[in-house]
Amino acid sequence: MSETSMPNRLSLKNAQAPGDTARLEHYSPLGADQVRLIQLHSYNDKLGMVECTMTCENLGRSEFLALSYTWGDSTDTRMIVVNDKQFEVTANLEGFLRTFANGYFEATRSKLWIDAICIDQSDISERNSQVLRMSSIYSSAQEVLVWLGEHTQEAAAGYSEIIRFCDRLAEQHDPFADGILRGLWNTLASMSRDGRMDFILHSPWWQRAWILQEFVLAHRVQFLYGEIRMNYHELRNVAYWLILMARYPLPPEDVDWVCRWGWIKDFLDLRKTVTRLDRSKNNGKAKLSLLDLLIRSKDSLCLDPRDRIYSLLGICSDIMPGDIVPDYNRDIRGVYIDAVRAHLFRNGTLDILTGRDPANDKHFPLVSEDSRLWPGWLPRFGCSFAFTFRIPWYNHDWQYNASRKFSFQSYPWSINSMTGALNLSGAVVDVISYVVATAPDMPEGHTEQGRRLQVLQKYAQLVDKLPPVYELTHESTRTALLRTIFATSLRGEDSSVDDIFDRATNANITGAVGQDLIANTSGSTISRRIAITSSGMITLVPVMTDPGDSVVFLVGGSVFYVLRRLADVQDTDDDSVSTKTFRFIGEAYVHGLMDGEVADRGLDLGPISLL
């Protein structure tokens, strides 16, 4: 599928009167189990347009191929003929249809499902119902064709050469011993970018939100670049050998090239991982939660932000039918609130909130929505959705569990869709009294590494300002501070933390070890900052934190949260009862309280509302 929710620019024109636009007259309503399929005709050079026939078929009773592609520039369009009437599509889609009809033997013998043609894009109700069925469509297809664009002769020649080397490498018991790998590197070094298969690396297809569902559910996958055809195993084999080029000295631009191949291999391995799961116990779905998938796809692109949620419904394991119903008439805010509500109900954790960082909102502007109406706690599920306290997305465990001794479902919670208020149970643990500057606040004229070192040295100076023993853990304040600094990169029990910090605060630190060390501090020197509370708690907090902000425990949270107090809201039925109301700032690490210890502090839990 492409971005189905792009603005409707597909129009239909009568073949006898090309200037008159009209809806395709045979877009009759689909039955409950029906989809539309097209069948290409042999390409007619005299007509100069792709021709096809579209019919309604029962899903599950017809064999077909499904296309996964990008729409491309919606203003760059071409004409094709569907059921003897002209139909306008984007140039990228027309390129696929023309190439497939011309160059692939099965083109005229296979039926195709293509969203831009087979879904009436002007009918919101049909789009809603078809999006619900997307997982069934892609899992029912004999094969999913991934269209990467039209190829060049140079790319075709380079592809053949690379495949030849990779096949030879796969046959060797020790490919490093006989120089074949070096031969591949020498060949690559002499090739142009196009010849080195850069068309794969830079294809916009990899950034689409929908590809996770389309790729994971496919029985078989073929990648098409013009007339170059690669199956899943061939492409993964190429990626495997090309990332080994990192063994050789690389110019900076080639380091990025190798890293991109590494990302593609990781993505391809996702399919390998999912196919090992016992789907029969999970209604055919991969055992990945909505949150897992949101993290995995946080850098993906979609023309309609609602598709960040809708594109994952067919493969997430925790969201049940009816929890989230695709509705392109619903505003973005409402769709995202639905996603959070479903996560809270099904999982009983606030983990989905830990990706919310208001400091990054400028990088993810809302589309046609007033940001003043956007609740501060509600994730935007874009580039601002970045987890600090979570280990890699594919691991279902969390480093911390501040709510270990509390059951989320045992306490009242609700979301007011009108006001956007998230109503939870919790308590203020302490108030921030002092925050340390972060690397971006350091003076100009320093490298990023130099700025991080300056921040670490400021952190080290805190030791002299605090009591020698950290009350919550009864360890030295120095050790408590170190473990907090590395909370986002090292496990708390790592015994080498002291040694690491000694080297990190040495202004003369050099070499690869030193650079790796400084890189491990990004979570505490750039995206977060150390803060001290009024009672001496050592915390790691968002960059937007100010003195006077509250450190709050919320039932269901794996971590703590920094909140900014707003005016309390009085109970309309009882003036003596009020709800503490806050603005959401972000997640927080509180050293010594991250594994459920807060339950022993006798907190008086009450209603807390986030706006």
- Whether 545 contacts 533, CB under 8 Å: no
Give the C-alpha separation, 262 to 268, whole Å. 10
74 burial level (CB within 10 Å; 0-12, 13-18, 19+): middle
Q: What is the mean pLDDT of residues 39-53?
A: 88
Supply the pLDDT for residue 514: 47
Euclidean distance between CA atoms 285 and 278, whole angstroms = 9
Q: Which two tokens stand for residue 523?
A: 């979570």
Write the DSSP assignment of 499-564 as a string of letters. Answer: HHHHHHT-TT--HHHHHHHHHTTHHHHTSEEEEEETT--EEEEETT--TTPEEEEETT-SSEEEEE
Judge whether residue 5 has pLDDT over 50: no
- Secondary element (H or E) of residue 588: strand 578-590
Distance CA 111, CA 147 (A): 16
pLDDT band at 2 (very low <50, low <70, confident <90, very high): low
pLDDT, tens digit, for every residue of 67-105?
A: 999 888 888 999 999 999 999 999 999 999 999 998 787
Q: Which residue has the higher pLDDT, 351 or 287?
A: 351
* pLDDT per residue as tens digits for the range 219-236: 899 999 888 888 888 888
pLDDT over 50 at 16, yes or no? no
Tell me the CA end-to-end span of the chain in Å, nearest whole number. 36
Encode pLDDT of 541-590 as tens digits. 988 899 999 999 999 999 999 999 997 765 555 455 567 899 999 999 99
pLDDT reported for residue 572: 52
pLDDT recorded at residue 324:
94
CB atoms within 10 A of CB 331: 14
pLDDT of residue 499: 57
pLDDT at 194 > cutoff 60: yes
> How many whole angstroms separate alpha carbon 152 and alpha carbon 456?
51
Q: pLDDT tens digits for 240-268?
A: 888 887 777 777 777 778 888 888 888 88
pLDDT recorded at residue 372: 63
Whether the pLDDT of residue 3 is over 70: the answer is no
- Give the ranges where 43-202 is alpha helix by DSSP (H): 91-103, 115-118, 124-132, 134-140, 153-171, 180-189, 198-201
pLDDT in tens, 131-167: 889 989 999 999 999 999 887 777 777 888 888 888 8
SS3 353: helix
Question: Percentage of the chain surpassing pLDDT 70?
Answer: 76
Tell me: the pLDDT tens digits for 393-439? Answer: 233 345 788 998 899 999 999 999 999 999 999 999 999 999 987 65
At residue 19 the predicted structure's pLDDT band, cuts being 50, 70 and 90, is: very low
Coil, helix or strand at residue 435: strand
Q: Which residue has the higher pLDDT, 480 or 22?
A: 480
Inform me whether the pLDDT recorded for 485 exceeds 90: no
pLDDT at 61: 84
3-state secondary structure (DSSP) of residue 459: helix
Can you tell me the mean pLDDT for 301-317? 87
Residue 22 has pLDDT above 80, yes or no: no
3-state secondary structure of 440: helix
Q: What is the pLDDT of residue 361?
A: 60
Q: Which two tokens stand for residue 326?
A: 């695709």
Nearest-angstrom CA–CA distance, 553 and 604 = 11
**In terms of Cα–Cα distance, which of 214, 239, 287, 262 is closest to 68?**
214
Residue 411 and residue 196: Cα distance in Å, rounded?
Answer: 57
Q: What is the mean pLDDT of residues 487-503?
A: 52
Mean pLDDT of all residues in 458-469: 84
Say if CB 137 and CB 217 are below 8 A apart: no
Which of 103-112, 384-393, 455-464, 512-521 bottoms out in mean pLDDT, i.e. has the lowest? 384-393
Distance of CA 520 to the CA centre of its chain: 22
3-class DSSP state of 139:
helix
Helix axes 448-461, 497-504, angle to 10 degrees: 120
Q: What is the pLDDT of residue 287?
A: 67
pLDDT > 90 in the chain, percent: 34
Q: Is the pLDDT of residue 463 over 70?
A: yes
More confident residue, 130 or 358: 130
With vertex at residue 396, the alpha carbon angle to CA 392 and CA 401, rounded to the nearest 5 degrees, is 95
Residue predicted with more confidence, 270 or 216: 216
Instruction: Please provide the average confidence, as pLDDT, over all residues in the chain.
Output: 79
